[in-house]
């Protein structure tokens, strides 16, 4: 299971990203940190990109489902209530809400793969 994160900047346009897709079979999805926040725990709008082979993440993040287009629910008077600069000591840190979400979804994929392998063994395959 692979999940590569990089801020949504130059890398998606860099030739190495073609290798992620063509050689590793990864799919690129775009998300925003703020889409994982809540009113009680808002997160800044920081766009980022994931390359992954997790079917669950690809499905969950398809289109703009987790990409902020001004619809994340933590915007007041046209501004996000949380800004990257509010966290000068950890502005590059991954939000725990995002990490927990991704870990849970990847675990679901891993459990499915384990179950498939177990079923194949029981059916006499390898
Ligand atoms: Zn937002």
- Walking along the chain (126 residues) 10 residues at a time, the average pLDDT comes out as 88 87 95 91 91 94 92 89 75 84 94 93 79
Look at residue 23 in the predicted model and tell me its pLDDT.
Answer: 94
How far is ligand 1, taken at its centre, from the CA of residue 47, in Å? 9
Separation of CA 61 and ligand 1 centre (Å): 15
- What b/e readout covers 97-126, taking b as 16+ CB neighbours within 10 angstroms? ebeebbeebbeebeeeeeeeeeeeeeeeee
Distance from the alpha carbon of residue 80 to the mean position of ligand 1, in angstroms: 6
Helices in the chain by DSSP H: which ranges? Answer: 15-22, 55-60, 96-122
Cα(34) to ligand 1 centroid in Å equals 5
* Domain boundaries, position 36: 3-122
Ligand 1 center to 64 CA (angstroms): 12
Query: Domain count of the chain?
Result: 1
Q: What is the pLDDT of residue 2?
A: 93
Judge contact between 6 and 48, C-beta under 8 A.
yes
The overall pTM is greater than 0.85? no
């Amino acid at each position: 299971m692979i999940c590569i994160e990089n801020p949504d900047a130059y890398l998606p346009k860099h030739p190495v990203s073609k290798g992620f897709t063509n050689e590793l079979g990864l799919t690129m999805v775009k998300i925003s940190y703020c889409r994982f926040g809540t009113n009680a725990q808002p997160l800044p709008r920081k766009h980022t990109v994931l390359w992954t082979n997790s079917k669950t993440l690809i499905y969950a993040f398809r289109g703009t489902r987790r990409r902020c287009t001004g619809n994340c629910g933590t915007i007041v008077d046209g501004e996000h209530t949380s800004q990257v600069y509010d966290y000068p000591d950890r502005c590059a840190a991954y939000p725990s809400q995002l990490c927990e979400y991704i870990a849970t979804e990847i675990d679901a994929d891993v459990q499915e793969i384990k179950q498939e392998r177990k079923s194949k063994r029981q059916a006499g395959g390898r």
